[in-house]
């Protein structure tokens, strides 16, 4: 599957060694919505990402990609240390140029 570069970085980056590349995939004013919380800006988003990996030790495998309404939606199989693993989640990305502007993660 041919993922846009910032989305590919989102799914392939590994903490902590890829933290700088992960943060650089997000626009300065980017927002991530996950588990009822909002994370703003690359630094906060990177802290959230590293904490989530430490807590859940999860891995996401993209299954398919769809474009619509100005968003890129990737369905991915997520497996890790959480109830209901593995689960298929939707990652709805907003993109501007080569950066992620917003991301919402849900079922």
> What mean pLDDT do residues 63-87 have?
96
- Tens of pLDDT along 26-59? 999 999 999 999 999 999 999 999 999 999 999 9
pLDDT at 75: 98
Each domain of the chain, given as residue ranges in start order, spans: 5-106
> What mean pLDDT do residues 83-98 have?
97
Sequential DSSP letters for 42-72: HHHHHHHHHHHHHHH--EEEEEEEEEETTEE
Residue 1 has pLDDT above 90, yes or no: no
Residue 5 has pLDDT above 90, yes or no: yes
Residue 74 has pLDDT above 90, yes or no: yes
Q: CA torsion 80→6→18→29, rounded to 10°?
A: -100
pLDDT at 41: 98
Element (H, E) at 101: strand 99-106
**Of 49, 40, 100, 36, residue with least CA distance to 74:** 100
Whether the Cβ atoms of residue 23 and residue 45 lie closer than 8 Å to each other:
yes
In CATH, what is the architecture of 5-106?
Roll (3.10)
Residue 92 has pLDDT above 90, yes or no: yes
């Amino acid at each position: 599957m041919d993922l846009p570069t910032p989305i590919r970085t989102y799914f392939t980056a590994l903490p902590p060694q890829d933290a700088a590349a992960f943060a650089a995939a997000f626009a300065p004013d980017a927002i991530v919505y996950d588990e009822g919380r909002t994370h703003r800006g690359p630094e906060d988003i990177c802290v959230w990402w590293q904490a989530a990996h430490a807590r859940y030790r999860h891995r996401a495998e993209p299954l398919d990609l769809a474009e619509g309404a100005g968003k890129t939606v990737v369905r991915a199989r997520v497996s890790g240390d959480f109830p209901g693993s593995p689960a298929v989640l939707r990652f709805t990305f907003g993109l501007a140029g080569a950066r992620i502007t917003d991301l919402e993660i849900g079922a």
